Amino acid sequence: MTKTYTVKQLEQKANTIREDIIRMLEHAGSGHSAGPLGLADIFTALYFDVLNHDPKRPDWEDRDILLLSNGHCVPVRYATMAEAGYFPKKELLTLRKLGSRLQGHPERLRLPGLESTSGPLGSGLSQAAGIALAMNMDKQFHRHVYVVTGDGELDEGNIWEAIMLTAKYRLSNITAIVDRNNIQIDGPTESVMPLEDLKKKWEAFGWHAIEIDGNDIEAVIDACNMARAITEKPVVILAYTIPGKGVDFMEYDFHWHGTPPNHEQAIKALHELRTLGGKIRSEHE
C-alpha cells in the first residue's frame, strides 16, 4: 500500500474512525467503547502507514500479519478496515447483528482480512509466534507479524508462555503492541492485578521494550519502524493510551470498558469528536 499520508491526515482519519466506532456501538446496543477509542491512533498508524497490505487482496501472500489478541476491541479494527477499503462502510452498522460478517468478537472465517479468531484473552502472541516460526522456516524474511494485546490481558498465563518462546527463538519478525490503558473490567489494572514494572518484566524475559504515547500517531509509526529495524530480539511497544480517547465522559473511566453509548450519549460523543476534528490530542493533555 502506498504510504502517502501526512500525520495531519492520519489524525483526521483516526477521528473519522472514532466517529464510526461510536455509530457502530450505538447501533449495536452492546460492545466495548473504551478500548477501541483508545486504540484508534494505533490502528490508523498500522493500516495507513506501517503494514504492508492490500485491502483488495486480503490474502496477498506477501502481506504483513496483524493479530488482534484482545478481540473485544475489534470495532476499531472493523472501522479501520472499512476506512482502508476492505469492505463498504455501511456494513459497519451490522456489527453484532444476526448474519453479520462483523461478529461481536472477530471470526476469521466470516470476514477476509481478520487473520484469526479471538476473544478469549492471551492467545494472540503465541499464534504470532507460530506464524513467525513458519515465516522463518519458509525464509519469508520480508514479512512481519504485529500483535496487539490489551494490558489486562497480560494477567493470562498463556501470554507469558508465548513471551518466553518468542524470546527463545529470537523471533524479531514479531512486534507486540500492548495497549497500556490501565483499565480492565473490574477496575484499574494495578488494583485488579498489578502489572508494573511492566517494561522491566518484558526486558527480563528477553525482549526489547519501547514506551510511547499510544495516542501519538507519529510516535506509533516511529516505534514500529524502530521495532522492524531491531533484529537481535523481538520488540514490544508499551503504548500508553487513554481509554475512551476523544470522548470526554468516557476517558479514563473503566465503566466504559464493556458498555456502548446510548443514543443521547452517542450524539454528545459525535459532537465532541466533530468539534475537535483532528485536534483531540491537545484537548486533554
* Contact footprint for other proteins (CB under 8 A): 65, 107-109, 115-120, 122-123, 126-135, 137-138, 157-158, 161-162, 164-165, 169
**Amino acid found at 198:** L
The CA-CA-CA angle for residues 69, 127, 49, to 5°, reads 60
Which of 40, 132 has the CB closer to other proteins? 132
* Euclidean distance between CA atoms 11 and 8, whole angstroms: 5
Shortest distance, CB of residue 123 to other proteins, whole angstroms? 4
Shortest distance, CB of residue 163 to other proteins, whole angstroms? 10
Instruction: Name the grid cell of 69.
Output: 489478541
Shortest distance, CB of residue 261 to other proteins, whole angstroms? 28
Identify the H or E element spanning 114. none
Shortest distance, CB of residue 16 to other proteins, whole angstroms? 30
Q: Are 148 and 70 in contact (CB under 8 A)?
A: yes
- Strand, coil or helix: 206: coil
Which of 80, 126 has the CB closer to other proteins? 126
Which of 40, 176 has the CB closer to other proteins? 176
Shortest distance, CB of residue 265 to other proteins, whole angstroms? 32
DSSP 161: H
Instruction: Name the grid cell of 195.
Output: 502489572
Give 3-state DSSP helix, strand, coil % of the chain, rounded to 5: 45, 10, 40
Which of 161, 203 has the CB closer to other proteins? 161
Shortest distance, CB of residue 272 to other proteins, whole angstroms? 36
Q: Which residues contact 75 (CB under 8 A, 6 or more apart)?
A: 21, 24, 25, 31, 32, 36, 95
Which of 92, 135 has the CB closer to other proteins? 135
Which of 44, 116 has the CB closer to other proteins? 116
